[in-house]
Amino acid sequence: MSIRKFLRDAAKFLTGFSTSFKQRSVEYIEFELKELENVFALMVLGSMVGLPTPPTPVAAKILPHMERELRVMLERSDGICLGEIASIFDI
């Protein structure tokens, strides 16, 4: 009886461990995707922050595909408030 209970508990533990591992993996991949999109946006629209930009024809071809990135960048720039700046400097 105790061996069956042990095996059942071990199976539940491994199932929970597997589920947790899969969920964390997806979260890490989503975070990496967001960061890669930000890097891509900075590469193409770097002139907004003073970085060198790609040639104009290349940027013009890519621009229609960057609607989402532009919205995210504008939301972030509009959303910066004094409280967020103060939290960066631990005030």
Spell 8-22 as b/e; 16+ CB within 10 A means b.
eeeeeeeeeeeeeee
- The per-residue pLDDT for 23 is 78
- The per-residue pLDDT for 60 is 79
Q: How many whole angstroms separate alpha carbon 12 and alpha carbon 79?
A: 44
Q: How many whole angstroms separate alpha carbon 49 and alpha carbon 77?
A: 11
- The per-residue pLDDT for 87 is 62
- For the question of whether the overall pTM of this predicted structure is more than 0.75, the answer is no
User: Tens digit of pLDDT per residue, the chain (91 long)?
Assistant: 588 888 898 889 888 888 888 878 888 888 888 888 777 777 777 776 677 777 778 777 877 877 877 777 777 666 556 666 666 565 5
Q: How many whole angstroms separate alpha carbon 44 and alpha carbon 53?
A: 6
Amino acid identity, residue 91? I
- The per-residue pLDDT for 81 is 60
